[in-house]
Structure 1
């Protein structure tokens, strides 16, 4: 996993489509879904950790954007 697009694609593979018009809310939901996939032993530890890292980095970027408005 190298980018947010990889995470979107992974979630699509399992029938999960997330779009609420709230970028931060979307990221929170994505993190929950990734956590559930890991708990169901669908993801290995490396993919799980990388996905969480990417989601949290994106969330930080979105929060900075929000503050600059």
Structure 2
């Protein structure tokens, strides 16, 4: 069960997708696009997509707050 950004990374890794751009917020944005592509191509189901999307949205919000400090 996915609960963290690491879990989303592991989901993407199962499909051969490894993301590292050097800045965490950019990584999260690209992961969001990749997860959407997996869902659009019927490679992951809707509950998995929604859980991954919620995690990524939360982490993106945290990073934005961290950058604003």
Is the pair's TM-score, using the shorter chain for normalization, greater than 0.5?
Answer: yes
The TM-score, its normalising length taken from structure 1, stands at: 0.93
* Number of equivalences: 68
Q: Deviations over 1:13-60 (max 9, x none)?
A: 111110111111111100000000001111111110010000010000
The corresponding residue for 1:11 is 12
User: RMSD in angstroms over aligned alpha carbons?
Assistant: 0.7
List alignment gaps of at least 5 residues for structure 2. Answer: none
The TM-score, its normalising length taken from structure 2, stands at: 0.93
List alignment gaps of at least 5 residues for structure 1. Answer: none
Q: Distance in 2 between matches of 1:3 and 1:55?
A: 9
